[in-house]
Amino acid sequence: MQVRSALAARKSVRAFTEQTVDPVTVEKLISLAGKAPSGTNAQPWQVAVVSGKAKQRLDEQLIAAHNRGDEEKMDYLYYPTDWVEPFLSRRRACGLQLYTTLQIKREDKARQFAQWQANYSAFGAPVALYFFLHPKMQTGSFIDYGMFLQSFMLAAVEEGLATCPQAALGQYPQIVKRELGYPEDSILICGMALGYEDSTAKINSYRTPREPAATYTRFFND
Ligand X SMILES: Cc1cc2nc3c(=O)[nH]c(=O)nc-3n(C[C@H](O)[C@H](O)[C@H](O)COP(=O)(O)O)c2cc1C
Name the residues that contact ligand X, by CB under 6 A: 11-12, 14, 94, 119, 164-168, 190, 208
Residue number closest to ligand X, CB atom: 168
Minimum separation from the CB atom of position 153 to ligand X (A): 9
Q: Is 141 exposed, middle or buried (0-12, 13-18, 19+ CB in 10 A)?
A: buried
Minimum separation from the CB atom of position 163 to ligand X (A): 9
Q: Are strands 162-166 and 127-133 parallel, antiparallel or unpaired?
A: unpaired
Minimum separation from the CB atom of position 221 to ligand X (A): 31
Give whichever of 129 and 168 is closer to ligand X, judged by the CB atom: 168
Give whichever of 12 and 121 is closer to ligand X, judged by the CB atom: 12
Distances (CA, A) of 38 to 34, 97, 99, 134, 207: 9, 34, 37, 14, 30
Minimum separation from the CB atom of position 79 to ligand X (A): 9
Minimum separation from the CB atom of position 162 to ligand X (A): 10
d(CA 189, CA 202): 29
Give whichever of 23 and 207 is closer to ligand X, judged by the CB atom: 207
Beta bridge partners of 133: 187
d(CA 16, CA 200): 10
Give whichever of 22 and 206 is closer to ligand X, judged by the CB atom: 206
**DSSP at 130:** E
Give whichever of 119 and 186 is closer to ligand X, judged by the CB atom: 119
